[in-house]
Amino acid sequence: MYSFLKKVAAAGTFDGQSMTDRQSIVVTNYYALSIFALGFTIGSAMLGYYGKVLLSSFLYGATIVSLLPLVLNHFQYYSASRLLLCAEIVVSVFCISISTKSLFGASITPSNYFDSRFFLVASVIIPITTFRMAEKGLLLAGIAFSFFGLVLFDPLHNWLNIGYYDLVPATRDYYFIANFYPLMAYTFIVTGFIFIKSQQEKTERQNEALITQLSDTNLVLHEQHEEIETQNLEIKTQTEELLTNQEQLVEAMQIIELQKTQLHGLNKDLETELTNKNQQLQVANQELTKYNNELRQFSYTISHNLRGPIARLLGLTDLMIKDDRHLSESQMQLVSMIRQSAMEFDGIIKDLNKIIDIRNEIYKIREKVYFQDEWDIVKTSLLSFVTPDMKIQSDFQQAPIIYTVKPIVQSILYNLANNAMKYRSPERPLRLNVSTSIVNDEIVLQVADNGLGINLALFENDLFKLYRRFHSHTEGKGMGLYLVKSQIEAIGGSIRVESELDKGTTFYVHMPIPPAIEEQLVFDAEYGSIFYNAELNCAGIVWKKQVTSEQYRTLFNQCLNIVKMYHTPYWVSDLRLQGVVAVEDQRWMLQTIYPEANRNGLVQTAIIYNPHSYSPEYPERIRAAADHLGIKIQFFDNRKEADEWIQMSFETTTVR
């Protein structure tokens, strides 16, 4: 029996096939045989238990169809056989689910709407194990069967009047529970198995290359051995050398095998670490949702509960990068990608803190924001929700820039675009248009879609209220529009909406053009002040009197914060009223503030001072520190010339 099954499982294979292709065919055949056996068993059980001949006949018929991949493989239609196998599972699950609910509607329980999903989630393993990573189109097509099976499970049952709410007493959280957890599990299975499969195939390719290399080496050795047999005494010496080389080759093989084992262990540890970090991020996100209605507490949660895990993740990746003795180049690249993702996530958290902590004066500073740059970031973050039939267009030519708070613009674009995708019409592809214009000294951001629309006659007064939702078929808490309105009002703007049911919605976000962006006061004290020029992206210090060591360091630290926040390339320091500064404080500034500012983008500094109030060594000491860091520096005796120098540098280096 075993030899017969083995022979059937080898249908479609032939000598000369690659090991990978042969393995894929055999796995497909085994899947088909397993489905046949399972279907025959279930059909027999149902016939004996329920006596339903029609249902059992259907199952017997399905088991016969399940053998079609074997036939297709026999005739060498390998791609078709695998796709058919993927489709069979999904179609069979749907047919069994629909038929049982149609026949046994009175005895259906809530679990009957979940068990089928388990098979759909598990079925994604079939395309991942039967298709190679190089067959991207076929792999995605195979995965698509189970994915759309999960997505369309409830709509199809509802259409046939055998949905959950048709047969089971109402449960308010059914759609969330029935879809969220299976889709989350589905996502983890797909990403995890694809990652493992890609690593496995990479290892297999390396092994095949190594086997080929060893085969070539053995061939050369065999030729040498034939020549040796025709030689005299000298040939014996060469034979001994050859045996020695062979022993070294075996030792090398053992070392390679040991390294493979170590690499496999490291990969497993890294996968476990990634899973743990993903779980930590999920917990942190749940904490964020819980405290949405309390902005101050929400800000505290972001600063402490989320930043901690990210900092630990960054710390762990730093340790891995430093101790790279046991890591291959590909693993180092993976660690670098993890670190880059963590840094990007950390940047998002910092931006959220800027939005939430809008009450602080430092977040009222306006900077130059390019709509296209922010829209590109938003499109990237929403890429997983975009389908090929969607048409997304943008036009920012009339108003390409605005001086405002950058994270607020990005948040508004994200929430409005996300709403358009979330509430798109199932009857037509999404059409999303994003554009800007200037109207009455205001910049108007327009976001228009052709989605489900909103009944403004009923919901206009509640549209921007907290936790208000107007469509129940998608996930969400009704936070997006409330956040958009709060943010736009925080910068002195307004928002209005036009919508028609089943035709679409258009949001008009009116953002004011700030009157003064050149000398924005960021920090002001009796001993000095800090300004920010959004047009030139330039920070500056103006000293007002003789300063103490503490005041000197406080003001420079504040200015460094501005450089870090806006990555300003230019810096103006007016030292004319600063007074005498201790040498150790000057050294602290040159060794601490200057290098850190340079790492965050500072490339040019203008210093305004009175030459007669300083020793000749003072400008040379500062110039030497600047030259060491690659920072251009120039000394002036008046503010006008310093500003003109910065302006000229800005005009010659800025290219967009």
User: According to the 3-state scheme, what is the secondary structure of 189-220?
Assistant: HHHHHHHHHHHHHHHHHHHHHHHHHHHHHHHH
Query: Does the pLDDT value for residue 298 go beyond 60?
Result: no
* Token pair belonging to 509: 């976000």
pLDDT band at 214 (very low <50, low <70, confident <90, very high): confident
pLDDT > 90 in the chain, percent: 18
pLDDT band at 479 (very low <50, low <70, confident <90, very high): low
Conformational region of residue 149, where left means phi above 0, alpha means psi within -120 to 50, and beta covers everything else: alpha
Cα 28 versus chain centre, distance? 33
- 512 against 355, higher pLDDT: 512
Which residues share a beta bridge with 432?
392, 449
Point out the least confidently predicted range of 195-204, 381-390, 556-565. Answer: 195-204
CA–CA separation, 190 and 15 (whole Å): 32
The Cα-based distances of 512 to 199, 316, 464, 502 in angstroms read: 52, 44, 20, 32
Identity of the residue numbered 626: A
- 276 against 543, higher pLDDT: 543
- The backbone torsions φ and ψ at residue 29, rounded to the nearest 5 degrees and listed phi first, read -65, -40
Mean residue pLDDT across the chain = 80
pLDDT band at 345 (very low <50, low <70, confident <90, very high): confident
pLDDT > 70 in the chain, percent: 84
CA torsion angle 63 69 70 75 (round to 10): 140
CA–CA separation, 375 and 434 (whole Å): 9
pLDDT band at 58 (very low <50, low <70, confident <90, very high): low
Total Cβ atoms within 10 A of residue 447: 23
Output the pLDDT for position 431: 95
Mean pLDDT of 291-309: 56
CA–CA separation, 20 and 12 (whole Å): 14
Output the pLDDT for position 359: 46
pLDDT band at 656 (very low <50, low <70, confident <90, very high): very low
- 525 against 235, higher pLDDT: 525
Query: Does the pLDDT value for residue 545 go beyond 60?
Result: yes
Total Cβ atoms within 10 A of residue 233: 6
Residue 546's nearest CA partner among 523, 522, 575 is 575
Give 156: exposed, middle or buried? Use CB within 10 Å, 0-12, 13-18, 19+: middle
Are 441 and 510 in contact by the 8 Å Cβ rule? The answer is: no
Work out whether the CA dihedral 29, 34, 37, 42 comes out positive or negative. negative
CA–CA separation, 587 and 604 (whole Å): 19
Output the pLDDT for position 566: 86
- The backbone torsions φ and ψ at residue 532, rounded to the nearest 5 degrees and listed phi first, read -140, 125
Residue 407's nearest CA partner among 566, 253, 290, 529 is 566
| Neighbouring residues of 417: CB distance < 8 A, sequence distance ≥ 6 | 378, 379, 382, 432, 434, 447
pLDDT band at 69 (very low <50, low <70, confident <90, very high): confident
Give 479: exposed, middle or buried? Use CB within 10 Å, 0-12, 13-18, 19+: middle
Query: Does the pLDDT value for residue 282 go beyond 90?
Result: no
- The backbone torsions φ and ψ at residue 103, rounded to the nearest 5 degrees and listed phi first, read -85, -35
Work out whether the CA dihedral 156, 158, 160, 166 comes out positive or negative. positive
Identity of the residue numbered 646: I
Which residues share a beta bridge with 500?
504
Same topology for domains 366-512 and 520-653, yes or no? no
Choose the most confident range, by mean pLDDT, from 152-156, 368-372, 405-409. Answer: 368-372
pLDDT band at 374 (very low <50, low <70, confident <90, very high): very high
In three-state secondary structure terms, 536 is coil
Residue 36's nearest CA partner among 14, 8, 76 is 8
Q: What is the pTM of this model?
A: 0.46
Are 484 and 415 in contact by the 8 Å Cβ rule? The answer is: yes
- The backbone torsions φ and ψ at residue 580, rounded to the nearest 5 degrees and listed phi first, read -80, 135
CA–CA separation, 369 and 304 (whole Å): 28
Query: Does the pLDDT value for residue 105 go beyond 50?
Result: yes
Pick 366-512's CATH classification: 3.10.129.10, 3.30.450.40, 3.30.565.10, 1.10.220.10. 3.30.565.10
CA–CA separation, 562 and 362 (whole Å): 9
CATH number for the domain running over 520-653? 3.30.750.24
CA–CA separation, 191 and 162 (whole Å): 33
Query: Does the pLDDT value for residue 190 go beyond 60?
Result: yes
E-strand stretches of 299-452:
367-370, 391-395, 401-404, 431-439, 442-449
Output the pLDDT for position 292: 43
Output the pLDDT for position 289: 45
Return the domain boundaries, the chain: 2-197, 231-356, 366-512, 520-653
Are 289 and 477 in contact by the 8 Å Cβ rule? The answer is: yes
In three-state secondary structure terms, 411 is helix
Choose the most confident range, by mean pLDDT, from 3-7, 465-469, 575-579. Answer: 575-579
The Cα-based distances of 88 to 63, 81, 142, 289 in angstroms read: 10, 10, 11, 40
Residue that the structure tokens 């400008």 belong to: 619
Q: Are strands 367-370 and 401-404 parallel, antiparallel or unpaired?
A: antiparallel
Choose the most confident range, by mean pLDDT, from 118-122, 306-310, 462-466. Answer: 118-122
Cα 338 versus chain centre, distance? 11
Identity of the residue numbered 529: S
Residue 471's nearest CA partner among 506, 431, 501 is 501
* Token pair belonging to 312: 């630990």
Output the pLDDT for position 288: 47
- 329 against 413, higher pLDDT: 413
CA–CA separation, 412 and 434 (whole Å): 12
Are 364 and 492 in contact by the 8 Å Cβ rule? The answer is: no
CA–CA separation, 237 and 205 (whole Å): 37
CA–CA separation, 248 and 266 (whole Å): 27
Mean pLDDT of 526-536: 90
Angle among Cα 561, 566, 571 to the nearest 5 degrees reads 70
Q: What stretch of H or E contains 106?
A: none
What is the largest distance, in Å, between two alpha-carbon atoms of the chain?
108
What is the full DSSP assignment across 601-636? T--EEEEE--GGGS-THHHHHHHHHHHHHT-EEEEE
